[in-house]
């Protein structure tokens, strides 16, 4: 087959190696800022990736320990202790809490005595 | 190293990978830019602009192995923008000046003259004919590669090349082509 290609070598920008190197250099120089920004982003991502697994493992362990402790504390207390503890926590006198949980109605005199003691 | 790997590295800011992409594809990019703009100086500007734009948009490359076709689209768009800008501003008329500084005035003058004649002759072709003939005869691509990059069929690539060469031979004359190809 006859190669009838047209000789465009005078238009070839890579023909003059020195000049082509200058052209490439000017492009890479103009791209330097963009490349540095990409490297910085890639570094942050790599850091996050390297920390992600240990952080996840620590969170899972903390979660398991917390759930276990919570379960143990709930089984160790009786309902009555829980109720009184709650009344104390919100500032209700112990005697009044007892009446509430026992569904026993106090007399007016008993109520007065308890309130006076607290006051 | 494959384009896909170079693109992946350039995405992470690897300057050497980006430089390799520029070196590998500059001539193809230049061919497309020259086909649109008609002169070497403007084609160089468009290529620099296109490579920087491509780097900015590198994360948009869905098929890194088809990077070159994606790059050619950017080059073509940047070259057309530049051409429109030049037309509107009319600040810098198209010129056929030598791109390099003169190191050998005699040879450079001859080369510059040839460059001018080639650019003038190329100006008589359609844009797609210029792209095909430059990518084939200047850059050395085969029809399959040209078809892939320009999104045309192999047959159309062959047809454009045939027509482009025929027109160029008519414009330049056989003697001119022979004279220069014997350099």
Number of CB atoms found within 10 A of residue A117's CB? 9
pTM: 0.67
User: Given B10, B48, B133, which is nearest A30 (Cβ)?
Assistant: B48
* Contact yes or no for A5/B136 (Cβ under 8 A): yes
DSSP string for A37-103: HHHHHHHHHHHHHHHHHHHHHHHHHHHHHHHHHHHHHHHHS-HHHHHHHHHHHTT--HHHHHHHHHT
**pLDDT value at position B10?**
94
- Average pLDDT score over chain B: 85
Whether A38 sits inside 8 A of B52 (CB atoms) is: no
Q: At what angle do helices A17-30 and B40-56 cross, to 10 degrees?
A: 40
Q: At what angle do helices B3-11 and A32-76 cross, to 10 degrees?
A: 70
**Could you tell me the maximum CA-CA distance found in chain B, to the nearest angstrom?**
51
Contacts B40 to A, Cβ<8 Å: 11, 13
Q: What is the pLDDT of residues B65-79, one digit of tens each?
A: 889 999 999 999 999
**Could you tell me the maximum CA-CA distance found in chain A, to the nearest angstrom?**
124
Contacts B180 to A, Cβ<8 Å: 7, 10
Residue of A nearest to B109 (CA): A10
Report the 3 state secondary structure along A19-40: HHHHHHHHHHHHCHHHHHHHHH
Contacts B16 to A, Cβ<8 Å: none
Complex ipTM over 0.90: no
Query: Count of CB contacts below 8 A, A vs B?
Result: 96
Chain A residues whose C-beta is within 8 A of a chain B C-beta are: 4-14, 16, 19-20, 23-24, 26-28, 30-32, 34-42
Tell which wins on pLDDT, A87 or B120.
B120
Whether B12 sits inside 8 A of A39 (CB atoms) is: yes
Whether B15 sits inside 8 A of A16 (CB atoms) is: no
Q: Is B176 exposed, middle or buried (0-12, 13-18, 19+ CB in 10 A)?
A: middle
Whether B18 sits inside 8 A of A30 (CB atoms) is: no
CA B79 – CA B127 distance, rounded (Å): 12
Whether B55 sits inside 8 A of A16 (CB atoms) is: no
CA B46 – CA B76 distance, rounded (Å): 9
Q: Return per-residue pLDDT of chain A as tens, 119 residues.
A: 446 888 898 899 998 999 999 999 999 999 999 999 999 888 777 777 777 777 788 888 888 888 877 777 766 655 555 556 666 777 777 777 777 777 677 788 887 887 777 66
User: Given B12, B22, B56, which is nearest A42 (Cβ)?
Assistant: B12
């Amino acid at each position: 087959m006859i190669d009838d290609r047209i000789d465009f070598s005078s238009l070839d920008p890579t023909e003059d190696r020195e000049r082509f190197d200058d052209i490439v250099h000017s492009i890479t120089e103009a791209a330097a800022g963009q490349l540095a920004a990409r490297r910085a982003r890639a570094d942050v991502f790599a850091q996050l990736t390297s920390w992600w697994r240990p952080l996840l493992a620590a969170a899972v362990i903390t979660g398991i320990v917390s759930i276990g402790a919570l379960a143990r504390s709930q089984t160790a207390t009786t309902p009555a202790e829980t109720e009184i503890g709650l009344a104390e926590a919100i500032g209700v006198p112990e005697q009044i809490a007892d009446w509430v949980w026992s569904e026993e109605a106090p007399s007016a005199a008993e109520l007065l005595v308890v309130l006076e003691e607290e006051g | 190293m494959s384009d896909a790997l170079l693109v992946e590295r350039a995405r992470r800011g690897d300057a050497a990978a980006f430089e390799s992409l520029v070196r590998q594809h500059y001539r193809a990019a230049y061919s497309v830019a020259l086909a649109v703009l008609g002169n070497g100086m403007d084609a160089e500007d468009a290529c620099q602009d296109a490579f920087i734009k491509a780097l900015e948009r590198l994360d948009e490359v869905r098929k890194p192995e088809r990077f070159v076709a994606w790059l050619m689209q950017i080059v073509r768009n940047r070259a057309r923008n530049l051409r429109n800008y030049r037309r509107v501003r009319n600040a810098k008329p198209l010129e056929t000046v030598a791109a390099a500084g003169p190191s050998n005035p005699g040879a450079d003058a001859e080369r510059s003259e040839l460059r001018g004649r080639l650019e003038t002759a190329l100006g008589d072709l359609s844009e797609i004919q210029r792209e095909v003939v430059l990518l084939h005869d200047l850059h050395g691509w085969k029809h399959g590669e040209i078809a892939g990059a320009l999104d045309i069929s192999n047959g159309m690539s062959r047809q454009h090349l045939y027509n482009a060469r025929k027109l160029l031979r008519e414009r330049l004359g056989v003697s001119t082509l022979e004279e220069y190809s014997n350099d």
